[in-house]
Amino acid sequence: MAPRTDKVLLSLGFLAIAASILFALTSLATGYEISIYGGTPVGFWISFGVLLIVCIWFLIAAQRLVFGGIFATGVVFILSGLPYLRGYAYFGRYDALNHLGSVRQILLANLDLQLNLYPAMHFLAAIVSITADLSANKSLLLLPIVFSLLYLFGMVLLARHFADNQLQFGVVIVLCLAYPGIISIQMPKLQPIPNVLTMLILPIVIASLVLLEKRGDVRYAGILIGLAGVLTLYHPQHSLAFIMFLTMWLIGNNLFERYHSRHTIHSANLLTTIVFSGTTLLFWISSKYGFAGAIVSIITGLIQTETAVSEISTGGSALQLVGGSLTTIFLRVFPLKIIISVVTIAFVSRTLWNIFRKEDSIEKRQICLLYLSLLPGIVLGILFFIKGTIGQFFRFAGVALMLGTIATGLAIGQAGEFLRQRTGRRIIVGLIGLVLIVAVISSIPVLYKSPYVYQPSEQVTEARFAGYDWIFESRPEDGPGIASLDTSVYRMRNIHYGKQNSVREMRQNPKILAPLSKDRPTPEFHAFVPYHFSDSEFNSSVDRQSAYIVKTEYGTKQHLRLYDGLRFDQSDMRYLDAHSAEVYSNGGTSVYHIRFSN
């Protein structure tokens, strides 16, 4: 196209970035939003869509990679920063709350490193909090943005290394923009938790490996060794998987050199990295409190007889009660993942076949090693899946799918170049651009949890923080237990007191919590709040005939609007008003003192 068209689109792209950010900043969340998509104005999505189209134009059609890279950076920044730009106090309902508690523990200046398995993220957030004068929750919200940009940088390095032409490079970069929808299977992947952040820096680590082999520069060996140590401090499980990855890479190198490859690779640096990483990992985890128990738990989990079938069946039955199904979720979440899996396997198989036919190059060998070295992690993930630990399986699958975007992009670019020479550039570029737009857009609805996948948004509001702070400060030391309709009491305690302080106190006094459950969870809990408590009697010991119940916007919208009263319905909410005293309310969170009949 003419340079004038590029200039117009260039201006349009920068305007789209500015408009997207402006729409986000001027539509701050005033309360809990069950869907971040519904709470974000239409103008944001229109301007963001324009930005995405302009980005793909410069990467695929115009092949002006510098401008395409700038707009790709804008896409990643806006997508990963949406909760921060919309003014969310925090994002992440489960483990993310525990990690916020760990950062608070550091800021209280009494962290015991023996009890902290993932200190790198916590210390980084604490440093940002102190130096930028931000709250701990806001400093943590910045990390997914920073690490998503690091992910993009790592993928650019890998794409430059493996791509034979500009079209292949552009397709890989566009596909990697769909990473949230590709790697997010069980949980959203843009929360401030170590598993997520470690996954996002893996492309940089792998890029240092392939560049070390190609250039033989000892500086890359130093970078690789340093990054391997960083993985241990961010997430030991990913560090162990990376050691397995490097070991398979080393074995594969030796086999290629012995039978098929004309390229000699010196393995001393790689072996040094494996030894260093293994020693660091072993020293680190063996120094942690409960190390032996964790090992026993993992082994027990792998040899237990339960399978994943019952868990899936139970989940499917529950979804049917609220008008959903596992089939619907599958059709919304998995097609892009399946396409990437199939194309990756086909591309690697063809590349491997070419190597056996002596059509060898260091890049072809490395692209094969990249995926063959993932096999130990994939096998371990499958074992976890068979034994019912589905979350662990999805963790390994997410890494494989993330790296699968490289092979898929290379395959699409290779096919595009082949067809372009026969049918005309404009037609092929148009088809590839259309496919990539659909791929990225289809990944956006599963970026953040929402009713689209039968999950509420994991937004945490200031009102929710304030409500829990009040009950923790106001509850008498020997008072009744605390329950909540959003079931995160102990995590919110971790934030209020610091995680280690809170865990220590709850072990000494488990009566602090009155858990929500269909049945009494364990004997040490003398009280619990049953589902549909308006229709049930509260089973308690003689001295525990009451409880504090925290009701938040999150809990109310989750149970009434999304799950249609499956656990708590409108009659339970009316029961609170009729049979209990509202002792605190801030507009978004209420605390009730309730006495149940025996």
Q: What is the DSSP string of 575-595?
A: HHHHHEEEEEE-SSEEEEEEE
What is the domain partition of the chain in residue ranges?
460-593
197: which 2 tokens? 């952040």
Cα–Cα dist 97/439, whole Å: 32
Cα–Cα dist 171/52, whole Å: 13
End-to-end Cα distance, the chain: 79
Burial of 22 (0-12, 13-18, 19+ CB in 10 A): middle
Residue type, 34: I
Cα–Cα dist 147/170, whole Å: 21
125: which 2 tokens? 């957030």
Strand partners, 550: 484, 591
Cα–Cα dist 226/124, whole Å: 17
Cα–Cα dist 290/297, whole Å: 10
- 178 and 79 in contact (C-beta within 8 Å)? no
DSSP 3-state of 569: coil
Task: Walk along the chain (598 residues) and give the pLDDT tens digit of each residue.
Answer: 457 788 888 999 999 999 999 999 999 998 999 999 989 999 999 999 999 999 999 998 877 888 999 999 999 999 999 999 999 999 988 888 889 988 988 888 776 666 778 888 999 999 999 999 999 999 999 999 999 999 999 999 999 989 888 888 999 999 988 876 676 655 556 888 888 888 899 999 999 888 887 776 677 778 888 888 888 888 888 888 888 888 888 888 887 777 665 555 556 677 888 888 888 888 887 776 655 555 555 555 555 545 444 444 455 566 666 666 777 877 888 888 888 889 888 988 888 887 777 666 777 888 888 888 888 888 887 887 777 677 777 778 888 888 888 999 999 888 887 777 777 666 777 788 888 888 888 888 888 888 888 888 889 999 999 999 999 888 887 777 888 888 778 888 888 888 888 877 777 776 777 766 666 555 555 556 677 777 655 444 334 467 888 999 988 888 888 888 888 888 888 888 777 788 899 888 999 887 765 4
Cα–Cα dist 324/455, whole Å: 11
DSSP 3-state of 91: strand
Radius of gyration of the chain (CA): 26
Cβ atoms within 10 Å, residue 459: 26
Cα–Cα dist 572/325, whole Å: 26
420: which 2 tokens? 């372009």
Alpha carbon 315 to its chain centroid, in Å, reads 21
- 70 and 110 in contact (C-beta within 8 Å)? no
Cα–Cα dist 19/46, whole Å: 9
Cα–Cα dist 462/459, whole Å: 10
Which residues does 183 contact at the CB level (< 8 Å), separation at least 6? 189, 199, 398, 399, 401, 402
Q: What is the pLDDT of residue 263?
A: 53
154: which 2 tokens? 């790592």
- Selection from 194, 191, 155 nearest residue 80 by Cα: 191
| Stretch (H or E) spanning 141 | helix 136-162
Burial 249-282 (b: 16+ CB within 10 A, else e): bbebbeebeeeebebebebebbeebbebbbebbe
Q: Dihedral sign, CA of 162, 165, 166, 170?
A: negative
Count Cα atoms within 13 angstroms, Cβ side, for 275: 6
Q: Considering only the C-alpha atoms of the chain, give the largest distance between any 2 of them, rounded to a whole number of Å.
A: 84
DSSP 3-state of 507: helix
- Residue found under tokens 């709850």: 506
Angle at 93 between CA 91 and CA 94, to 5 degrees: 130
Q: Give φ, ψ of 584 to 5 degrees.
A: -160, 145
Cα–Cα dist 237/558, whole Å: 32
Cα–Cα dist 151/146, whole Å: 9
DSSP 3-state of 13: helix
Cβ atoms within 10 Å, residue 75: 22
- 279 and 262 in contact (C-beta within 8 Å)? no
